[in-house]
Structure 1
Amino acid sequence: MKKSTFLLPVLVLAVIGVLSSIFIVDEREKALVLQFGRVVTIKEDPGLAFKIPLIQQVVRYDDRILSREVGPMEITPLDDRRLVVDAFARYRIVDLGRFREAVGAGGIDFAESRLDSILRAKTREVLGSVSSNDILSSDRAALMARIRDGSVEEARDLGLQVIDVRLKRTDLPQANLEATFARMRAEREREAADEIARGKEAAQRIRAQADRTVVELISDAKRQAEIIRGEADAERNAIYAEAYGRDPEFFEFYRSLNAYARALKGENSTMVLSPDSEFFNYLKSSGNSGSPAN
């Protein structure tokens, strides 16, 4: 009875010791076995692994490709046109021993802070060696490759591999952006004013041409009307002459009737004439119809 009472705690302690000495490494991570802060074992393959309980501890790190956002930074290209650039990088821990030696207990946060400094320095160096047009163009893959290649060596000292660097956004600073918008607005307003002035000039030219055409058409119409009127008068006179030649007395009678019609209108019916005036010859009756009185 005493023997089983003694063995049971020992067995429990043994089981606890065995369980605490076993750890599992996931396929998405790497692990370091530390003893008093010193690296004893690096476990990179997934599966079971062992450590000394209480004395050794396991520190795990992500083995996947990680992303790091690089906050906005202001750069000055060759043409002194300041720009604000956002970037991000993709990286991976490839040398776990060197990584632990470089960052210590700071872990991934300290490593990303160091990586930020490297990327910012290389971004300013590369983008400062070209013009702003090269940076703002759609074909800037070569610039991103230069930033990545320049960061690789320094990142390797941290046990990191920089896989890719991308420029997300490239803008003017807010003050410069507002000034640029104001300049663009002024330029568009100037172009609009030029277009309006050219439109008014063209309208005035078209209006003057239309007025000239109207004058020419009216003048030509009047000229043709005068010609037609002259031809009509000539034809009328010819008819009168022919009629007079055929019967002069009838022609005289017709002309007198027209004179009476014009003279004896309602608003002009008062005349002061001698009774024996020739004007009334055809109003007198001598007994011979159609002949003037003697």
Structure 2
Amino acid sequence: MKKLPILFGVLFVALVLVMSSLFIVDERQKALVLQFGQIKSVKEEPGLAFKLPFIQEVVFYDDRILSLETPEIEVTPSDDRRLLVDAFARYRISDVVRFRQAVSTGGIALAEDRLQGILNAQVREVLGSDSVTSSTILSDDRSELMERIRDSARARALSLGVEVVDVRLKQTFLPDQNLDATFARMSAERAREAADERARGQEAAQRVRAQADRTVVELESDARRQAEITRGEADAEKNRIYADAYGEDPEFFEFYRSLDAYRAGLKGENTTMVLSPDSEFFDYLKSDTGR
């Protein structure tokens, strides 16, 4: 009977030792086994794992993609228009050994503080470069800028054992004191663009009118030329007919031409003509033969 308490004590101590030796790694975590602050092993696969009781300890790190939001910072693009920008990043702990060496016991809080400094520096560097203007930053098409910030931040965050998955510019806006000046400058730019458009429109209208006037002149000239040709052909045909008629019956031709002369000369109600008595004008009125 005296051995029974001792047996229970031994079993209890053994159970405590076993429980102190076992730990579970969740699928959302990575674990480091430390002994007196030194890294002894890395547990990245989920499941049951072992450590030396009381001597070794386990530190867990999140293996999921984490978010980090940066406070507003002021940047000055190449056109010297100050902007307020805040961004957010997605990151994950890619190397737990390097992460532990970089932040020691500071953990996620210290790592995010350093990562925030890296992001802010890269945002200022990229958005403040000579090739970037405020219009580019404020436009919807700024994905290239965000990719440049992400790539630069990713390269510098490797020393922390962190992989920067993505960086996005959450808000980009002008400081209140710059809004009025910016609005006036934008209004002036739009007025200048409108004036340029009107000038280009007037120039195009002048070209169209000049081309139309030229076309009208060319068409009228061609019409007159065609009319003169037609009139000349008609006169030639008329003369040919007259000549043929004269050849067929000269006397009738002279009679017909005299009737045309009478018709042209005796127009109107009062026609006065002064002729000598022996004038040939009225020969066909004196006799039926005109002689």
What secondary structure sits across from 1:79 in the alignment?
coil
Q: What residue is the counterpart of 2:202 in the other structure?
A: none
| One-letter code aligned to 2:47 | G
The structural deviation recorded for 1:12 is 0.5
Q: What residue is the counterpart of 1:116 in the other structure?
A: 116
What secondary structure sits across from 2:11 in the alignment?
helix
The aligned length equals 187
Give the TM-score of the pair, scaled to structure 1.
Answer: 0.61
2-side partners of 1:69 and 1:119: how far apart? 10
Q: What residue is the counterpart of 1:160 in the other structure?
A: 162
1:136 to 130, 135, 138: 138
What secondary structure sits across from 2:148 in the alignment?
helix
Change (3 A) 1:170 1:40: same
Change (3 A) 1:185 1:117: closer
State yes or no: 1:49 paired with 2:52.
no
The structural deviation recorded for 1:54 is 1.0
Q: What residue is the counterpart of 2:152 in the other structure?
A: 150
Q: Cα deviation per residue 1:94-130 (whole Å; 9 max; x = unaligned)?
A: 1000000000000000000000010000110000011
1-side partners of 2:106 and 2:144: how far apart? 34
2-side partners of 1:178 and 1:116: how far apart? 32
2-side partners of 1:107 and 1:172: how far apart? 35
2-side partners of 1:171 and 1:178: how far apart? 13
Q: What residue is the counterpart of 2:173 in the other structure?
A: 171
Mapping 1:1-294, distance limit 5 Å: 1-129=1-129, 130-180=132-182, 183=184
CA RMSD of the aligned region, Å? 1.8
The structural deviation recorded for 1:52 is 1.1
The structural deviation recorded for 1:177 is 2.4
1-side partners of 2:161 and 2:43: how far apart? 15
Runs of 4+ more than 4 Å apart: 184-187
1-side partners of 2:7 and 2:182: how far apart? 85
What secondary structure sits across from 1:71 in the alignment?
coil
The structural deviation recorded for 1:69 is 0.1
2-side partners of 1:141 and 1:185: how far apart? 24
Give the TM-score of the pair, scaled to structure 2.
Answer: 0.62
The structural deviation recorded for 1:145 is 0.3
Change (3 A) 1:2 1:178: farther
The structural deviation recorded for 1:20 is 1.4
What secondary structure sits across from 1:155 in the alignment?
helix
The structural deviation recorded for 1:186 is 8.9
Q: What residue is the counterpart of 2:272 in the other structure?
A: none
The structural deviation recorded for 1:55 is 1.0
Change (3 A) 1:186 1:87: closer
Q: Cα deviation per residue 1:166-218 (whole Å; 9 max; x = unaligned)?
A: 0011000121125445x48998xx9xxxxxxxxxxxxxxxxxxxxxxxxxxxx
1-side partners of 2:69 and 2:186: how far apart? 34
2-side partners of 1:139 and 1:179: how far apart? 24
| One-letter code aligned to 1:172 | L
Change (3 A) 1:173 1:23: same
Change (3 A) 1:88 1:48: same
2-side partners of 1:149 and 1:13: how far apart? 53
2-side partners of 1:141 and 1:13: how far apart? 61
What secondary structure sits across from 1:157 in the alignment?
helix
2-side partners of 1:147 and 1:164: how far apart? 9
2-side partners of 1:178 and 1:34: how far apart? 59
2-side partners of 1:170 and 1:186: how far apart? 20
| One-letter code aligned to 2:41 | T
The structural deviation recorded for 1:16 is 1.0
What secondary structure sits across from 1:149 in the alignment?
helix
